[in-house]
Amino acid sequence: MNVLIIEDEKSLALEIAGFLGKEGFMIDHAWKKSSASEKIFVNSYDFILLDLGLPDGNGFDLLHQLKNLPGREDGVIILTARNAVDDRIKGLEEGADDYLAKPFSLSELLARMHAITRRKHKLEKNEVNIHGLTLDIRNRTVIFNNERINLTKKEYEIFNYLVLNKNRVISRMNLTEHVWGDILEINSDSNFVDVHVKNLRKKLANLIPIDWFETVRSIGYRINI
């Protein structure tokens, strides 16, 4: 999953990035409203961590921009000063998913991100059972017969994203964006997504011999549950 951190306090942004990076998230930064606006327009994110007080503008403008883009489902957590009650209320009313008052625990941030994922995908807990496998979202593992399956980081991310969006066609571009990050840095002619899906499909089929992924010609993939 990929995260955009919009925070002008660089020490805090780097602390968050280091923590979430160790948890397996892809991290993108923006220190100013102008650069954040460009990134939001070009890329979609699983999560946006939004500081409201930016040096060149108000974070609420970025929230408005995001909510006016069609088809966007980015989870937004507002980072705000502890006494800014009005800002917290306004942010939630205008579409943010949650807020954290500074200073906050990084473990609490991660827990809130997991909670948003559960709500978004209508999960009762941090795991999904599919065709005899258990996808553990919190621990980022796939389990079969009580044993962890040896997937690469990218294979796990692909499987995780397709399972969470089960029964939906996910384009190669969308899958690339959410697993690899900034699409501007990626060669659109590369077939690396298909190679990873092929390897993942083979590993899973060796455990449970079914056709895990439907290939939707010229578009992408869908996992049917």
Q: Do 82 and 55 share a domain, yes or no?
A: yes
Is the domain of 90 the same as that of 29?
yes
Residue 183 confidence (pLDDT) above 70: no
Please give the residue range of the domain that contains residue 211.
Answer: 127-223
| Same domain flag for 132 and 111 | no
Average pLDDT, rounded, for the chain? 89
What is the mean predicted confidence (pLDDT) over 63-68? 92
Query: What is d(CA 51, CA 5) in angstroms, rounded to the nearest whole number?
Result: 8
Domain end point (choices 87, 120, 153): 120
Sort strands 26-30 and 2-6 into parallel, antiparallel or unpaired: parallel
Q: Which of residues 104, 120, 136 is at a domain's end?
A: 120
Q: Which band of pLDDT confidence, cut at 50, 70 and 90, is reported for residue 190?
A: low
The predicted pLDDT at position 157 comes to 92
For 80-129, how does the pLDDT look when each residue is reduced to its tens digit (9 = 90+)?
A: 876 778 888 888 898 999 999 888 999 999 999 999 999 988 888 889 99
What average pLDDT does the segment 57-84 reach? 88
CATH of residue 85's domain is 3.40.50.2300
**Residues 109 and 133 placed together within one structural domain of the fold:** no
What is residue 134's predicted lDDT score, i.e. its pLDDT? 93
Say if residue 116 is in the same domain as residue 131: no
| 142/205 same-domain check | yes
Residue 153 sits in the same domain as residue 197: yes
Whether residue 181 has pLDDT greater than 80: no
For the stretch 192-224, pLDDT in tens is: 888 999 999 999 988 988 888 888 888 889 988
Pick from 80, 101, 120: which residue ends a domain?
120
Contacts of 107 (CB under 8 A, 6+ apart): none
Burial class from Cβ neighbours inside 10 Å (0-12, 13-18, 19+) for residue 49 reads: buried
Q: Please give the model's pTM, rounded to 2 decimal places.
A: 0.82
Is the pLDDT confidence value at 51 over 90? yes
Characterize the bridge pairing of strands 53-54 and 98-102: unpaired
Asked if residue 187 has pLDDT above 60, the reply is no
- pLDDT at residue 185 above 80? no
Same domain, 34 and 72: yes
- pLDDT computed for residue 175 by the predictor: 87
Question: Are 109 and 136 in a shared domain?
Answer: no
**What is the per-residue pLDDT across 18-49, written as a single tens digit (0 to 9) for each?**
999 999 898 999 999 999 999 999 888 999 99
- CATH code of residue 140: 1.10.10.10
Shared domain for 156 and 68, answered yes or no, is no
Tell me what pLDDT residue 82 has: 64
Q: Do 146 and 101 fall into the same domain?
A: no
Q: Give the list of residues 6+ apart from residue 67 with CB closer than 8 angstroms, or none.
A: 94, 95
Which whole number is the average pLDDT over 169-188? 74
Does pLDDT of 186 surpass 80?
no
Q: 77-98: string of b/e by CB count within 10 Å (b at 16+)? A: bbbbeeebeebbebbeeeebbb
On whether both 185 and 201 belong to a single domain, the answer is: yes
Total domains, the chain: 2
